[in-house]
Structure 1
Amino acid sequence: MRYEDTELPVVLDVGQIISFHYFEYVKDFQGVGESHDFWEFVYVDYGEIWIQADEERILLCSQEGYLHRPGQYHNIYAAGVFASVFIFSFRSRSHSLRHLECRRHPVSRWGKDALAVLLRTGKEFLEEPYDDFGQEKLRWKPDVPETAGQLLKNRIENFLLLLLQESREDAQDTADRHYQEPRGRETVEKVTGILSENLYGSIALEQVAGQSALSQSYIEKIFKKHLGTTVMDYYHRLKIARARELISEEELTFTEIGDKLGYGSIHNFSRVFKKYTGMTPSGYQKTVQSKGLL
């Protein structure tokens, strides 16, 4: 048999990583605007933030990202709610990134999985802190394996390639979605508005459908498509984001916060809080105090 090579073209290549951050912003946070000669990706894990991109202000919601191009003036502002944000910046000469630059990107479940792996890899190999605004150089932890750099590089490239693939698939479907897409975005905005108005208390999917005059199945389909999650999962994420803000303010007890957000008992509140944050309310409070977020 005569075997032939199959070329593996390089579509996207990351040369160097510049910064790696996970920030938690209180509701009145305002950043310092800057521009630089490398790429920067901003992803909202919880809550909402405003970003400045040159002359434009853009609201980024939970599970949405934005890629700032080199040389673009940018900044971050709180949107009046507590928010957690993952930011990494890098150098690349790949022209394919032009298809992703200066756009709001809803991140799919596959993209979120890739980001989670990237975040874990960075925390495994890079020195803390991850929330230092003034950090100018990343430092490797002692005794990291020789594979660390390439693994981190591959994790970043993997996420960006997924984003690029999904972006191009969306572009191919633009004609078919000419009338449907605006309605989909409007549905997301309408439903998230209803959920936000009902943070204090509770609301079921059936009630959301009634208030929005849309079917439950259609709402769930649109949420899966645009946000990669269910309506009730998003609702609980909003509640827990608000709970984190209230805990950081240290004005209410955990029982009062759970009751205020409609969880009924401290046990139920603690269970849901741990599900979405990986820690108990008291454990989170200690983390906030140690980071000096207030």
Structure 2
Amino acid sequence: MEYPRYELKRELSIDKIITFNYRRLKNGYRSVGEQHDFWEFVYIDQGRFEVFTEVGQYELNQGELIFYKPNLFHVGKTRSGETPTLLILAFECAAPCMSFFADRTFRLEEQERHLLSRLVQIGKEAFNPPVDSIRMLFPNRLEEAKFGTEQLIINYLEIFLLELIRGGSTRRDSVKPASVIQENKQVRETMRLIDYLQCHIAASDLSMEAICSEFAIGRTQLKTMFKAQTGSGVMEYWKRLKIEKAKSMIADDQLNFTEIAEYLGYASVHGFSRQFKKIAGVTPSEYARSIVARLEKSIHIR
């Protein structure tokens, strides 16, 4: 008797991964903007993480995940004073169904988190160094790994993606982009400009003329582009960066207000205090007291 052979349908197949990292980021981390011809997802296991792409700006919290489709320019950064733990996995997959993940974010259910947990666990056994090592850049096979370890990575990853697609009709994106960005060039220029402002956070003075000269762009064009991407004027954004840095320094409690003002390029502590009050809504002293109060309230939590 001849038995019929039923060929099972494969909706997607993954044979190659590019990066597989599970790590805690340092305070102040900011990735170099990049784009590549493969898929990547970032899962926030602990803390919060900010992402900037050509589609928009996202603030991701613990338990949320974002996909970068091939050739999507993206930048990621930690929030001030925070050290989130991320799972970053990049892979090749040309299946048509992968279009489901383009420009999508998700808040994972327990079953999906379990699949990622197994992925990380197996990843620790498969590579040298393991996926949770700070020395891990790209996967390197561990020759003495247990039988079938790499195939389990493929299986868990494919199952994870399939489960997200299967549940896709009943779930919405976990977060919406904070702003929509239309042009690749504009988002790159905006990211470069923000980096420039951060590098000059301690400058005593910064003029629009100097910025326009640095970026070889007209004043009106620069102001329009930056306002469209950030909702803020260039100089206003720079001043807010200064005050955010000041908040972090006050929280660190290593310098007094005069020293902080001098570090950030203010001519006097009085000028620093006035701008702090204008932007933060409270004086530096009031802000310092609020930090102490929050710390006292949080002592009993754990």
Partner residue in 2 for 1:216: none
In structure 2, the residue corresponding to 1:10 is in which secondary structure?
coil
- Aligned: 1:166 with 2:202: no
Alpha-carbon spacing, 1:25–1:135, altered in 2? closer, same or farther (3 Å): closer
In structure 1, the residue corresponding to 2:298 is in which secondary structure?
coil
Give the Å deviation of 1:145: 3.5
Contact 1:100 1:167 in 2 (8 A): no
Alpha-carbon spacing, 1:114–1:129, altered in 2? closer, same or farther (3 Å): closer
Give the Å deviation of 1:8: 2.1
In structure 2, the residue corresponding to 1:113 is in which secondary structure?
helix
Give the Å deviation of 1:98: 0.5
Counterpart amino acid of residue 75 in structure 1: V
Counterpart amino acid of residue 151 in structure 2: Q
In structure 2, the residue corresponding to 1:85 is in which secondary structure?
strand
Contact 2:123 2:131 in 1 (8 A): no
Tell me how far apart the structure 2 counterparts of residues 102 and 84 of structure 1 sit (CA, whole Å).
22
Q: Gaps (5+ residues) in structure 1? A: 172-180, 187-248, 270-294
Counterpart amino acid of residue 22 in structure 2: Y
Contact 2:35 2:70 in 1 (8 A): yes
Give the Å deviation of 1:155: 1.4
Tell me how far apart the structure 2 counterparts of residues 35 and 185 of structure 1 sit (CA, whole Å).
22
Tell me how far apart the structure 2 counterparts of residues 97 and 167 of structure 1 sit (CA, whole Å).
12
Counterpart amino acid of residue 128 in structure 2: E
Alpha-carbon spacing, 1:153–1:129, altered in 2? closer, same or farther (3 Å): closer
Tell me how far apart the structure 1 counterparts of residues 30 and 165 of structure 2 sit (CA, whole Å).
30
Kindly provide the CA deviation profile for residues 90-130 of structure 1, in whole angstroms up to 9, marking residues without a partner as x. Answer: 01111111001211111111110000000101011112264
Tell me how far apart the structure 1 counterparts of residues 102 and 123 of structure 2 sit (CA, whole Å).
23
The root-mean-square deviation of aligned C-alpha atoms, in Å, is: 3.3
Partner residue in 2 for 1:37: 37
Give the Å deviation of 1:151: 1.3
Q: 5 Å matches for 1:88-99?
A: 88-99=89-100
Counterpart amino acid of residue 87 in structure 2: F
Q: 5 Å matches for 1:114-263?
A: 114-128=115-129, 130=131, 137-170=138-171, 260=296, 262-263=298-299
In structure 2, the residue corresponding to 1:58 is in which secondary structure?
strand
Kindly provide the CA deviation profile for residues 64-112 of structure 1, in whole angstroms up to 9, marking residues without a partner as x. Answer: 1011111111111112333111101001111111001211111111110
Tell me how far apart the structure 2 counterparts of residues 23 and 70 of structure 1 sit (CA, whole Å).
23
Q: Which has the larger radius of gyration?
A: 2
In the comparison of the two structures, how many residue pairs are matched? 188
Q: Percent identity?
A: 24
In structure 2, the residue corresponding to 1:153 is in which secondary structure?
helix
Alpha-carbon spacing, 1:6–1:129, altered in 2? closer, same or farther (3 Å): closer
Partner residue in 1 for 2:59: 59
Alpha-carbon spacing, 1:154–1:260, altered in 2? closer, same or farther (3 Å): farther
Partner residue in 2 for 1:79: 79
Alpha-carbon spacing, 1:32–1:131, altered in 2? closer, same or farther (3 Å): farther
Partner residue in 2 for 1:281: none
Tell me how far apart the structure 2 counterparts of residues 72 and 125 of structure 1 sit (CA, whole Å).
29
Counterpart amino acid of residue 124 in structure 1: E
Counterpart amino acid of residue 76 in structure 1: G
